[in-house]
Amino acid sequence: SDTDSDAGPETVLKIIFVGDSGVGKTSLLERMFSDRFDSHMPATIGTDQRFKRLNIDGREIGVSVWDTAGQDRFSSLTPFYFRGAQGVVYVYDVTRAESLTHLRDKWMEDYKSYATVEDAVQMVVGNKVDLGDRMRAVSAEEGAAFAREHGCLYKETSAKTDSGGTDAGVYDALIWGLVC
């Protein structure tokens, strides 16, 4: 009805993706927004913002997702994007153990210093599971334990092969945590 369309400003959630360069943040977002994968994804310069509308239980929710650059030369810039973020996605590469320890030593420290929303919903995502067990440096159990220890939700995925699932499955718990 007309009254419904005038129901006031829509809810917009701000979600930020952080993690080392090359872990696949942009690739996960490309999968989430366009269901595509590019094996030659260029490194992100600065930050990119993407917007999408979701319909959750009949509620229109706008999701503003900020993709940040993991390269060290941007490390003075990225922390400012934690301001106002209600959701934080920490991405690591399951084949690079240091990309997980850096979540703790760098990205979660930046969160503590720069986040302004108390009780943001935080999620750890282990990416590149398609590379197989022989390439793995972090087991699913280690990833899950790490996430639990830091009060984060946890998922493993592959931006390359987890078509659709990245949107439909991986971020469900995050979105639900933000909406409810």
Q: Does 71 bind ligand GTP (CB under 6 A)?
A: yes
Q: Does 44 bind ligand GTP (CB under 6 A)?
A: yes
- One of 86, 99, 127, 166 touching ligand GTP (CB under 6 A): 127
The interface partner of residue 122, options being Mg ion, ligand GTP, none and the CB cut-off 5 to 8 Å by kind, is none
The interface partner of residue 159, options being Mg ion, ligand GTP, none and the CB cut-off 5 to 8 Å by kind, is ligand GTP
Q: Does 158 bind ligand GTP (CB under 6 A)?
A: yes
Note whether 100 and 138 are within 8 A (CB). Answer: yes
Judged by CB under 5 A, how many residues of this single chain contact Mg ion?
Answer: 3
Q: Does 26 bind Mg ion (CB under 5 A)?
A: yes
DSSP assignment string, 70-129: -SGGGTTTGGGGGTT-SEEEEEEETT-HHHHHHIIIIIHHHHHHH--STT-EEEEEEE-G
**Least distance from C-beta 1 to ligand GTP, angstroms?**
43
Q: Which range, of 4-12, 41-49, 144-152, 170-178, touches ligand GTP by CB under 6 A?
A: 41-49
Spatial separation of the C-alpha atoms in residues 38 and 53, rounded to whole Å? 24
Q: Does 22 bind ligand GTP (CB under 6 A)?
A: yes
Spatial separation of the C-alpha atoms in residues 138 and 145, rounded to whole Å? 11
Contacts of 155 by beta carbon, 8 Å cutoff, 6+ apart: 123, 124, 125, 126, 169, 170, 171, 173
